[in-house]
């Protein structure tokens, strides 16, 4: 499983976001994909509180962004530093670097039913989708379109 994910990430990395874009993962419940049968959910709160629910039993902890690509997760019993491999509004793939690297795959279970299929679809389809632009880019495009339309209209008036 981990090798498949690690191999597909370089093909979709350009479509991901940085962890500093917190609004996409805060106050949302994420399901951890794991090898066992445990249902483990993570909820990252705005005050850096972390709620981890394992089969309904809750552990409270904290989270902190160390950089745009690294997050620290702390509970009473442990602290781990994870690196962002891929993140979008529906899936987070984090890596715990060590001798035996471990992946943490968190999904929005309302949207993603199969993380492998989701990542594979991103690999094959994302290059054809229109991505959401920031307001400054939207304004620049709108101004460019108005300018070009004005030039075309001006050209039509001059030719008559």
Q: How far apart are CA 83 and CA 49, in angstroms?
A: 19
Place of tokens 């997050």: 71
Structure tokens at 125: 């389809």
Q: How far apart are CA 7 and CA 4, in angstroms?
A: 5
Average of per-residue pLDDT values in the chain: 81
- Which span out of 79-83, 100-104, 138-142, 144-148 was modeled with the highest average pLDDT? 79-83
This prediction's pTM: 0.71
Confidence band, pLDDT 50/70/90 cuts, at residue 75: very high
- Residue 85 is given by DSSP the state E
Contact 41, 31 (CB under 8 A): yes
Average pLDDT over residues 18-46: 88
By the 10 Å C-beta count (0-12 exposed, 13-18 middle, 19+ buried), 55 is classed as: exposed
> Assign residue 84 a region: left if phi > 0, alpha if psi is -120 to 50, beta otherwise?
beta
């Amino acid at each position: 499983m981990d090798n498949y994910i690690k191999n597909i990430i370089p093909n979709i990395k350009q479509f991901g976001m940085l962890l500093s874009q917190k609004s996409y993962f805060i106050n949302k419940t994420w399901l951890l994909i794991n090898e066992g049968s445990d249902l483990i959910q993570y909820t990252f709160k705005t005050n850096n509180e972390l709620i981890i629910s394992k089969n309904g039993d809750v552990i409270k902890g904290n989270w902190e962004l160390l950089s745009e690509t690294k997050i620290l997760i702390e509970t009473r019993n442990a602290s781990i530093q994870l690196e962002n491999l891929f993140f979008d509004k529906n899936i987070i793939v984090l890596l715990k670097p060590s001798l035996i690297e471990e992946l943490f795959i968190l999904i929005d279970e309302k949207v993603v039913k199969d993380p492998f299929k989701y990542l594979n679809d991103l690999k094959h389809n994302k290059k054809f989708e229109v991505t959401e632009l920031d307001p400054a880019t939207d304004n620049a495009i709108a101004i460019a379109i108005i300018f070009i339309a004005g030039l075309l209209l001006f050209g039509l008036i001059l030719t008559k």
